[in-house]
Every structure is written in structure tokens, then in C-alpha cells.
Homo-oligomer: A and B are copies of this chain.
């Protein structure tokens, strides 16, 4: 951490600040430049209170040197984290694909959908039981029942399941779910993150609509700090000024997360653009950029899906995509199938 002082800060004020900062148990290295005096804080700066520093009127700026996340930081754990779920290793050479309808639409429906994606090669069944919708008048999902139907589909097909949680109060309903998803809008629902950190479930943590990678890793840190090491990051498009697409896939988040963190990262090409015809291109781009997996919306009849039909592909398109993605993965010495 570096403190930059205002030009012409009185020497007495510099000394007062140094004394105050040292009470946090850090060393202070001082450099006097042409216009600015700089204080470098050396040691464990994680306990330094920033508030008193920032409210000091002689402080021009406070610069962080070290990333604020620790357990998510590759510096402190250089080897990649591989999360094993139901026999699948997420974060290894194999690229994991989760597929299924946007929403659970009924028991028979979700079983049919599970069979269709399994046949096309999916490794996990994804579907929404609790649905975060911007309008209170939109379909809100089947809730608890939806999860039960997914578990039936798991029994029928053997596919492990991924579904979203929206509230701590429903955590018990997720005890047989294989991966619990935290949606973009809840990425900074810290109470929920803490509760999930106390479980040992794999958590699929979606990036917030306009959050930075640092904020995202700090949200992962909330889960890790409570003792749950099983966090899978999911890039799902960020908000930009572009409005031909619903969101904008930040494909560079894939190599960046791989450089900064040991956690696995997958991509959601369906929400990223919100356009079914773009899922193909964005999936291939994600594999080429090094993603560890994909989560894709697939439905046999998108025009009659209960939600997000506009971004949903059909099982036969998905099957073809699996084969082509596998070819690209092989160029990178990985594989999808």
C-alpha cells in the first residue's frame, strides 16, 4: 500500500500520519519526490484501516499494490484447483459442458430435456428452479418442486445437476444438488455468500453484470474465507453500451482469471449475448481462449420454452457444436468429448 501526500504537506502532518500508520504493525518507507512525498507501507497491510488515511486532508491518493484477495490468489496457491463433482474434474484437461433448459418446466419436461442433452454429450444438467426475473409479473420458477424434478431427471439419466439459489432460507432444498449456482445479481449478496461458504458444496459463482474481475474474486473470497474451497467462476457477459446483444462476453476474463487465480473458470455463452444464433461462435471462442467449461441453454422447442427462448439452442445444434468444440479443444491439447 502506498500513500501519496499532497504537495506542501507540513512536516508535522507527515510525521503524525507515519506514527498513526505504524500502529497497524507495518513499516513505512518514505520517499520525497519533486512535488509529492510518498509513504510505502511494508509488511502485512491487510489490517491497515484505510478510513483514517483517506479522510486525512493531506492525503492525495492511496494506491494498492497487492491484490485484496488472498485465498483466491494464485500467488499464494500456484497450482490450479481441480474440483471433482460426480466423477468430473472441473479445471483439468477435460472441458466440462453443462446444458439444459432455462427453467424447469415440469417433471416430464425436465427428464426429457435431460435425456436430450445427455445424448448430445452434456456432462451436467442445468436448469432453473428459482428464477431471478427483473419483473415481479414474470414466471418466477417452480421453486422447491423444480429441484425435486431435477433430482428425478438425475436419477433417470445419471447427469449431475446445477441450479441457482436465491435465498439463504432455501438452502436445505439444495442438499442433493451437485453444484449450487449464484446468479449475477447476487454476486455481492454477501449474506448468501457467507452461508454458502459454510457448506462444502461446489459453488458456481457468476460474474456480476458490471463487476470487475477483482470484485468477482473478492466475492469468491467470501466463500473461500468461510472454509469452502470449491468455487467455480462463470463469465456470463458484462453490461456495455452495445445493445444489439443483451450483454457482452468478456472473453479476456478467461486468460486473466487463469493468471490471477487458481480457480477454474467456465463460460455461459447463452446469457452472454442473449441470442441463440450466437451461441455457436461464442462457445468456440471461449474454448479457444482457454475456458474450463461451458454452461449452455438447450431446449427441444425454444419457441415454447417458459423463459429465455431467444438465447436457447436445440439439441441437434448442441450435438453438432459439441463435436466442433472438441476439435478446437484438441488444438489446445484438451478435449470436450
Q: Show the binding face of A for B, using Cβ within 8 Å.
A: 2, 4, 7, 29, 31-36, 38, 40, 42-44, 46, 50-52, 54-57, 61, 63, 65-66, 68, 75, 132-137, 166-169, 185-186, 188-192, 194, 209-215, 218, 221-222, 225-226, 238-245, 248-256, 259-260, 272-273, 276-278, 281-282, 284-290, 302-310, 312, 324, 327-328, 331-332
Contact = CB atoms under 8 A, between A and B. Distances in A.
Given A34-B42, A240-B240, 9 more contacts: A4-B65, A33-B42, A33-B66, A54-B310, A134-B218, A213-B242, A244-B260, A256-B278, A287-B288
A31 B42 contact: yes
A278 B250 contact: no
A288 to B, nearest CB: 4
B303 A56 contact: yes
A276 B54 CA distance: 10
Nearest to A189: B189
A210 B225 contact: no
A296 to B, nearest CB: 15
A49 B259 CA distance: 26
Contact of A222 (B46, B136, B168, B240): B136
Contact of A52 (B55, B272, B309): B309
B249 A252 contact: yes
Given A65-B36, A65-B61, A256 B245 contact: yes
Contacts of A215: 134
A112 B65 CA distance: 37
Contacts of A288: 281, 284-285, 287-288, 328
B190 A304 contact: no
Contact of A168 (B66, B167, B190): B167
Contacts of A225: 136-137
A75 to B, nearest CB: 5
Contact of A2 (B63, B307, B310): B63
Contact of A46 (B137, B273, B286): B137
Contacts of A134: 68, 188, 215, 218
Contacts of A327: 331
A201 B253 CA distance: 36
Given A52-B309, A249-B252, A212 B241 contact: yes
A332 B273 CA distance: 21
Contacts of A212: 241-244
A251 to B, nearest CB: 5
Given A133-B190, A135-B218, A244-B213, A66 B36 contact: yes
18 contacts: A31-B40, A34-B42, A51-B307, A54-B309, A54-B310, A68-B135, A132-B188, A136-B221, A136-B226, A167-B168, A209-B210, A210-B239, A240-B248, A240-B250, A248-B248, A249-B252, A281-B290, A284-B331
